[in-house]
Structure 1
Amino acid sequence: MFAYKPKSFLLSLPKHISNSQIFLANSNSQLSPPLSSLPPRPSIPQTKQAHAQIIVSGLAADSPLISHLLCFLALSPSTPFHYSLSLYQSIKYPSVFATNNMIRCFAKSDSPPQSLLLFSSMLRTCVKPNNHTFTFLLQACSRALALNEGAQVHTVAVKLGFGGYVFVRNALIHLYCSCSRIECSKRLFEENASSRDVVTWNSMLTAFVRDEQIGAAEKLFEEMPERDVISWSTMISGYVQNGRLGEGLECFKQMREKGMRLNEATLVSVLSASAQLGLLEHGRLVHSLVESLNFPLTVSLGTALIDMYAKCGCIEQSKLLFKNMPKKDIWTWNVMICGLASHGIGKEALALFQRFIDEGFHPVNVTFIGVLGACSRAGLVSEGRRHFKLMTEKYSILPEMEHYGCMVDMLGRAGFLDEAVQLIEKMTVPPDPVLWATLLGACKIHGSIELGEKIGKKLLKLDPTHDGHYVQLASIYAKARKWEDVIRVRRLLVEQNTNKAAGWSLIEAQGTVHKFVAGDREHERSLEIYKMLEKIGIRIAESGYSPNVSSVLHDIGEEEKENAIKEHSERLAMAFGLLVTGAGDCIRIVKNLRVCEDCHEVSKIISRVFEREIIVRDGSRFHHFKDGKCSCLDYW
């Protein structure tokens, strides 16, 4: 039946056993003294102590007792596989209860297909499988992504009359979902509406979420007769994983209003959404829930908190959490390295990477994205070159687009434009247009009109529908005051039926997220915001501010250009922040695009004149403005 060769221990199992020899023990039977004192889910040491008592009491040949020990091991989160196997082999005539628990132990091991071998041997004996047998077998197939074998188990389950059991059907739905056969899961779900429980609904909900069918998941979620914490957590996770972050947070809010018990998966998903949106207040709320509900600081939860604080601008809080975490895995270190890199703390990120190596961790591709990103944002060119070489030669990690992107960005911003071009041209895979776009941005910074024009034209051919390439090229021409070329490029932009991506800025205040776009007058406090803008303009002018209008892509009067830049989205958000926060409070802004040179300069002056710390997360990095200076040292 199965395309696996049995191991020797399976071949040694008895071929034929009469029905009278089969002890059909079950988990509800009366336990004898060596086991009766154990908790419902004993630890491995507790189970071994009970086993020792059984041996000392001369009951080592008592099959029911050994079968129950096996049951405890099957329920354990970390089952010692070889110990489980030795127990099973010590049973002269294994019952269906014992065999089921051994199948379950196999399913949880690193070799789940072994469950199928044991089942195959079971069919050759007189031990009759039951509905639990198929549930555990299908779990093993799901873990191994063994679709063909799982389909055969499905056939046998139906043939023996177990296909209608709700637990078996749930396991089948999960199997087909794990193997990306969503239509099979859907057919199973729909074929017997009377045989469903909350697990059935959750399994189908998970299937839709994994297949990114969020609309179908929403519809199913609304139809559910009963929802548990898994239902809500799955829906929240689906929203977050598919970029619908606001809806994920709203779903979390509804979950709490329903009084649902929170679990770790829910909290990790919500922290991820808070991190991606840069919503510190919301992230802090989740952190307070973690503490008030006494959740243990697991690796997953701790790593999510570190990531959230780093992406919300609180890098010191991230560092403190990292320091105090009782246990860290490779992803915890990666998140911390990348967090330091995004804040431009390059030397500290490299020092942390060295500690990572010293503690015996082996870097992966994401580790070097953080390391090279740190070098790029801090202008550590020689360190970047060294680590790029280290990645490929010592750790045999093939560079991916993200690694090349970090290197091109580092070389380009440092002015090594020719070296960046050579790196792209030597790539063994076709370069992503993003790499050329990164270099195009460097050409703008360094005023390399000729190279910029060459790269710009290449990009328009590679990806004619991407508005950003037109904008970058037009910006280069605008900086050189070549207005005819600016008009020509903008005309091409219109002819391609694409428009410049709208810049927006977010600011979280008083429990609400406020979004602004350039020239925005839709906010309910718009009049106050524009009055504050005028006040800001007067104060910064008195402080010596002179507008830099090089980012304006139109051949218009200087006054019109100044009006255009002073209504950029981050300035509106900043003005609103000054209105709604207390004196001395930090203003935190998230912007989807790279901050322009003039807004960067204005932010520095505002931080000094209004005595505020302003933290801006733009499309490239974090900027911490304080006392008239920026953490990036004007290198971004």
Structure 2
Amino acid sequence: MFAYKPKSLFPSLPKHISNSLLSHSSSSSSSLVSALPPRPSLRQTKQAHAHIIVSGHAAYSPLLSHLLCLLSLSPTTPFHYSLSLYHSIKYPSVFATNNMIRCFAKSDSPLLSLLLFSSSILRSCVKPNNHTFTFLLQACSRAMALTEGAQVHAVVVKLGFGGYVFVSNALIHLYCSCSRIECSKRVFEENVSSRDVVTWNSMLTAFVRDEQIGVAEKLFEEMPARDVISWSTMISGYVQNGRLEQGLACFKRMREEGIRMNEATLVSVLSASAQLGLLEHGRLVHSLAESLNFPLTACLGTALIDMYAKCGCIEQSKLLFKNMTQRDIWTWNVMICGLASHGLGKEALALFDRFVDEGFRPANVTFIGVLGACSRAGLVTEGRHHFKLMTEKYGILPEMEHYGCMVDILGRAGFVDEAVELIEKMTVSPDPVLWATLLGACKIHGSIELGEKIGNKLLELDPTHDGHYVQLANIYAKARKWEDVVRVRRLMAEQNTNKAAGWSLIEAQGKVHKFVAGDREHERSLEIHKMLETIGTRIAEAGYSPNVTSVLHDIGEEEKENVIKEHSERLAMAFGLLVTEAGECIRIMKNLRVCEDCHEVSKIISKVFEREIIVRDGSRFHHFKDGKCSCLDYW
């Protein structure tokens, strides 16, 4: 009753492509391959391969070679399928062999490409070309196989392929991957006439990775042409080497020259903004990403979450995290660590539970965030539980950072003896930072004898570190043992070690303003100090009484009060009150831990002047509002 209508052999292919393949009898072999899309799926390629076999073209090598080429370009090709296709070619050409080498280079065993080269080219009459060596060198780079790469280099020179720009670029990349920068440089200098922008970028990347930023700067300025990769490499080099302001300046130049940024550029600049606490700059980068229609990938989204968290806008970080459709393990880690830095310990632990429930396996950095959250929120029981969970359930061996978090959790909560016991049971030798953490706990809880013992041990371990002298002197100062304070400071002077200068940054009126204690260099210094007097009067009326225990000098009380009222964050707050609108939040970043007196003053200022003040110190965030701090005086 019904006419039979056969199903299409290629249901996933477009109709015009399927029809083209079915009419092979009237089409050339090349049209079979050209009918496929430029980037066919694996299923489409296999369907075309099947049709080639059943239509009697299986022995036609050029057709199979082109299929192999398509497989070599695919990011998800099963390696064994590519190999079986190659073996079905009776007399593989150099084109087919090059594409099989390329498939090997992308596989988990990239050096097998050398065996294929040896067996299929060196031992046959097939002559290699410049593409052969490009793919071989890519394989050596991926495996970081310096010895094998050098052997390929020797064949390149012997056969005269060194002048080809793609081969030269692959050689530079190989030596860069194997940390042989001088070899990369030699290849670069030997091929002056065979350079393109990729050559220059490869060499630029080599110097940046080797932390030779000065050399990279010189090369960057010498480049005859720069693309977005050139600019992005230079910016990331500055940021990764801690030269944050120069990274932002380079980004500004890039924008002025009209270069369209890529995702890597945005991520690097967001990292610099985060580390410097520059919220307005971070917001600018966010708006640029949106105006250029960059998709919110896991990488870009994670960078934005990190920036907002480190600039004090944890609510914005949480909103971004909630709205992200793509999250990887680093997204979760950054969000957990962000919550921890703002003292939101219970939220961080709840997020960790969600992270595990969604099937992610925690890494060691995940537990640094979790234990840090417990430390800043004083969650001792939870800290013990998660430390045990890390070691017993997930088999993660504690690193120094994990021990540091646990010592901080126990020490600051008053369990100093338990912290000492934990250090003594460590399978690795504790580093000075760990002892310094315990020394800080001794200061908090007035453990003078133990603090003295640890302090002297630290001075033996690292006599040039100024922080150890300062902490020990603080313990003596708190106990009013001024002779010992003088002795420690004398030791500090003998070692030519000076206390790290405290500084505070505030972003206002399109600029970053930096203050140090007692600063009188700012262009509005007179107004700032007049505002300090106003602040002093108003907080005194509100019941403020100075706490000068952090001042190490055995000097008069009045002089101590004068010293402490000019701490860098107070100058920054005074400036903030001058230049911001009434009710506007004041955001400050400082390099050292906030002292007890400045912490108390900040609380009172927030109430008296009706301002929210967010301070990021060397340990965490403090959100001062209505006379209270988010840390609940536990920092």
Query: Structures share a fold, TM > 0.5?
Result: yes
Residue 12 of structure 1 corresponds to which residue in structure 2? none
Residue 513 of structure 2 corresponds to which residue in structure 1? 514
**1:55: Cα distance to partner?**
5.3
Cα distance change of structure 1 residues 419 and 182 upon mapping to structure 2, 3 Å threshold = same
**The one of 111, 114, 118 aligned to 2:112:** 114
Residue 357 of structure 1 corresponds to which residue in structure 2? 356
Cα distance change of structure 1 residues 38 and 517 upon mapping to structure 2, 3 Å threshold = farther
Residue 242 of structure 1 corresponds to which residue in structure 2? 241
1:398 aligns with 2:397: yes
2:168, 2:191 within 8 Å by CA — same for their partners in 1? no
Cα distance change of structure 1 residues 357 and 163 upon mapping to structure 2, 3 Å threshold = same
**Equivalent residue of 1:589, what SS?**
strand
1:79, 1:108 within 8 Å by CA — same for their partners in 2? no
1:79, 1:109 within 8 Å by CA — same for their partners in 2? no
Q: Which moved more, 1:197-206 or 1:498-507?
A: 197-206
CA distance in 2, matches of 1:464, 1:196: 51
Residue 74 of structure 2 corresponds to which residue in structure 1? 76
Q: Which moved more, 1:41-50 or 1:309-318?
A: 41-50
Which string of whole-angstrom CA distances, capped at 9 and with x for unpartnered residues, describes residues 101-142 of structure 1? 121122122221122122122222222210001001101100
Give the alignment's Cα RMSD to 1 decimal.
Answer: 1.7
2:232, 2:265 within 8 Å by CA — same for their partners in 1? yes
Residue 265 of structure 1 corresponds to which residue in structure 2? 264
1:310, 1:339 within 8 Å by CA — same for their partners in 2? yes
**1:53: Cα distance to partner?**
5.6
Residue 33 of structure 1 corresponds to which residue in structure 2? 31
Residue 500 of structure 1 corresponds to which residue in structure 2? 499
CA distance in 2, matches of 1:37, 1:609: 75
**1:574: Cα distance to partner?**
1.1
1:616, 1:623 within 8 Å by CA — same for their partners in 2? yes
**Equivalent residue of 2:326, what SS?**
coil
Residue 597 of structure 1 corresponds to which residue in structure 2? 596
Q: Which moved more, 1:586-595 or 1:113-122?
A: 113-122
2:623, 2:629 within 8 Å by CA — same for their partners in 1? yes
CA distance in 2, matches of 1:492, 1:57: 89
Letter in 2 for 1:290: A
CA distance in 1, matches of 2:242, 2:134: 34
Letter in 2 for 1:93: Y
Q: Which moved more, 1:526-535 or 1:625-634?
A: 526-535
CA distance in 2, matches of 1:569, 1:90: 75
**Equivalent residue of 2:549, what SS?**
coil
**1:71: Cα distance to partner?**
2.0
Residue 445 of structure 1 corresponds to which residue in structure 2? 444
**Equivalent residue of 2:369, what SS?**
helix
CA distance in 2, matches of 1:152, 1:101: 21
Residue 25 of structure 1 corresponds to which residue in structure 2? none
**1:90: Cα distance to partner?**
3.0
Residue 279 of structure 2 corresponds to which residue in structure 1? 280
**1:34: Cα distance to partner?**
3.5
Cα distance change of structure 1 residues 41 and 580 upon mapping to structure 2, 3 Å threshold = farther
2:188, 2:203 within 8 Å by CA — same for their partners in 1? yes
Letter in 1 for 2:415: F
Cα distance change of structure 1 residues 136 and 468 upon mapping to structure 2, 3 Å threshold = same
Residue 306 of structure 2 corresponds to which residue in structure 1? 307
1:34, 1:53 within 8 Å by CA — same for their partners in 2? no
Residue 19 of structure 2 corresponds to which residue in structure 1? none
**1:473: Cα distance to partner?**
0.9
**Equivalent residue of 2:91, what SS?**
coil
1:80-479 paired onto structure 2 within 5 Å: 80-122=78-120, 123-479=122-478
**1:389: Cα distance to partner?**
1.3
Identity over the aligned pairs, expressed in percent? 88
Cα distance change of structure 1 residues 72 and 551 upon mapping to structure 2, 3 Å threshold = same
Q: Which moved more, 1:249-258 or 1:118-127?
A: 118-127
Q: Which moved more, 1:118-127 or 1:568-577?
A: 118-127
Residue 10 of structure 1 corresponds to which residue in structure 2? none
**1:83: Cα distance to partner?**
3.4
With structure 2 as the length reference, what TM-score do the two structures score? 0.93
Residue 11 of structure 1 corresponds to which residue in structure 2? none
CA distance in 1, matches of 2:516, 2:634: 25
CA distance in 1, matches of 2:40, 2:577: 57
1:504-583 paired onto structure 2 within 5 Å: 504-583=503-582
2:539, 2:608 within 8 Å by CA — same for their partners in 1? yes
CA distance in 1, matches of 2:393, 2:599: 40
Letter in 2 for 1:116: L
CA distance in 2, matches of 1:462, 1:373: 26
Letter in 1 for 2:143: A
Residue 26 of structure 1 corresponds to which residue in structure 2? none
Bigger RCO of structures 1 and 2 (CA < 8 A, at least 6 apart) = 1
Q: Which moved more, 1:612-621 or 1:87-96?
A: 87-96
**1:368: Cα distance to partner?**
0.9
CA distance in 1, matches of 2:534, 2:340: 35
Letter in 2 for 1:162: F
**1:49: Cα distance to partner?**
5.4
Q: Which moved more, 1:82-91 or 1:338-347?
A: 82-91
**1:76: Cα distance to partner?**
2.9
Cα distance change of structure 1 residues 169 and 634 upon mapping to structure 2, 3 Å threshold = same
CA distance in 2, matches of 1:462, 1:212: 28
CA distance in 1, matches of 2:417, 2:524: 49
**1:366: Cα distance to partner?**
0.5
CA distance in 1, matches of 2:142, 2:111: 9
Cα distance change of structure 1 residues 73 and 293 upon mapping to structure 2, 3 Å threshold = farther
- Which runs of 5 or more structure 1 residues have no equivalent in the other structure? 1-29
**1:231: Cα distance to partner?**
1.0
Letter in 1 for 2:465: H
**1:589: Cα distance to partner?**
1.0
Which string of whole-angstrom CA distances, capped at 9 and with x for unpartnered residues, describes residues 376-432 of structure 1? 111111111111111112211111110111011111100111111111122111111
CA distance in 1, matches of 2:116, 2:483: 77
CA distance in 2, matches of 1:315, 1:258: 34
CA distance in 1, matches of 2:244, 2:539: 36
Cα distance change of structure 1 residues 567 and 52 upon mapping to structure 2, 3 Å threshold = farther
1:154, 1:172 within 8 Å by CA — same for their partners in 2? yes
CA distance in 1, matches of 2:47, 2:587: 56
CA distance in 1, matches of 2:62, 2:575: 72
Q: Which moved more, 1:91-100 or 1:299-308?
A: 91-100
CA distance in 1, matches of 2:330, 2:555: 50
1:505, 1:592 within 8 Å by CA — same for their partners in 2? yes
CA distance in 2, matches of 1:389, 1:634: 28
**1:40: Cα distance to partner?**
3.7
- Which runs of 5 or more structure 2 residues have no equivalent in the other structure? 1-27
Cα distance change of structure 1 residues 43 and 473 upon mapping to structure 2, 3 Å threshold = same
